[in-house]
């Protein structure tokens, strides 16, 4: 069995093991989805569970999806040049929701001069054209927080809890 075929699992707090879960997201109006699909497939073939939501994701959609799916990593693929406008919004929402145990990585067309600012936001990776999928797999495997299941969740609650009176959410038809 080659390394790439080895299922990637994380030891749980008990004797439980689980595959790494990642969200591959395409923020903004960028339609370049080949790279996102390439990395989604490569990570799947490396044994990860990859949530792929398609193009045209707003920061809200990305953060909400990541929270509901409880992923280990959010992988942002962007080639449109809008990263400096979108990334700060995503990072702000993550912070507001207390999501501090998830690896945030990016790739696509990210000019060298923007990389320091992107990294200062807490976004890692920054892979560009020609990046080897094996390097991306290794990167994810190495940088996710393997102990996140043992850590306490921050106490920030989302508005609109599911237990409020169902009728309260009723909207005019």
Partner 1 sequence: MDLQEITERTLAGDKRALARLLTYIESGDPSGKSALAQLHKHCGRAHVIGITGSPGAGKSTLVSQLTLELRRRGNKIGVVAVDPSSPFTGGAILGDRIRMQELIGDPNIFIRSMASRGSVGGLSAATRDVVRALDAAGFTHIIIETVGAGQAEVEIVRAAHSIVVVMAPGMGDDIQALKAGILEIADIFCVNKADRPGADQTASELRALLTLDQRRKSGDWTPPVLKTTAATGEGVEKMADELAHHLSYLEQSGALQERRERQARSEILALLYQSMITHMNLTIGKERFGAIVGLVASMENDPYTAAAILAKELGIG
Query: Contact between 33 and ligand B12 (CB under 6 A)?
Result: yes
Q: How many residues sit in the footprint of partner 1 (CB under 8 A)? A: 57
Helix, strand or coil, per DSSP, at residue 43: helix
Query: Contact between 96 and partner 1 (CB under 8 A)?
Result: no
The mark string for 93-122 relative to ligand B12 (x by CB under 6 A, - otherwise) is ------------xxxxx-------------
Q: What is the DSSP letter of 65?
A: H
Q: By C-alpha distance, which of 58, 51, 52, 50 is closest to 30?
A: 58
Rounded least distance, CB 108 to ligand B12, Å: 4
Rounded least distance, CB 116 to partner 1, Å: 31
Q: What is the DSSP letter of 147?
A: T
Helix, strand or coil, per DSSP, at residue 133: helix
CA distances from 158 to 95, 106, 120 (A): 13, 26, 27
First to last CA, the chain: 57
Choice between 53 and 80, CB closer to partner 1: 53
Task: List the beta bridge partners of residue 10.
Answer: 18
Query: Contact between 131 and ligand B12 (CB under 6 A)?
Result: yes
Rounded Cα–Cα distance for residues 15 and 37 (Å): 33
Query: Contact between 86 and ligand B12 (CB under 6 A)?
Result: no
Q: How many residues sit in the footprint of ligand B12 (CB under 6 A)? A: 27
Helix, strand or coil, per DSSP, at residue 144: coil
Residues that bind partner 1 (CB under 8 A): 5, 7, 9, 12-14, 16-19, 21, 40-41, 43-54, 56, 60-61, 64-65, 67-70, 97-99, 149, 151-154, 156-164, 166-167, 169-171, 173
Residues that bind ligand B12 (CB under 6 A): 30-36, 38-39, 75-77, 79-81, 105-109, 125, 127-131, 136
């Amino acid at each position: 069995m080659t390394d790439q075929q080895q299922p990637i699992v994380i030891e749980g707090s008990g004797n439980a093991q689980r595959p790494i879960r990642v969200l591959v997201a395409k923020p903004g109006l960028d339609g370049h989805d080949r790279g996102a699909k390439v990395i989604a497939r490569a990570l799947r073939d490396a044994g990860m569970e990859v949530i792929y939501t398609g193009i045209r994701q707003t920061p809200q959609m990305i953060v909400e999806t990541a929270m509901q799916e409880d992923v280990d990593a959010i992988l942002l693929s962007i080639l449109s040049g809008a990263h400096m406008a979108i990334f700060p919004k995503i990072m702000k929402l993550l912070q507001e929701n207390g999501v501090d145990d998830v690896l945030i990585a990016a790739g696509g067309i990210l000019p060298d001069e923007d990389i320091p600012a992107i990294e200062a936001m807490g976004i890692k990776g920054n892979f560009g054209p020609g990046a080897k999928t094996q390097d991306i797999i290794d990167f994810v495997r190495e940088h996710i927080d393997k102990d996140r299941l043992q850590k306490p969740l921050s106490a920030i609650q989302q508005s609109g809890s599911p237990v409020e009176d169902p009728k309260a959410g009723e909207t005019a038809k």
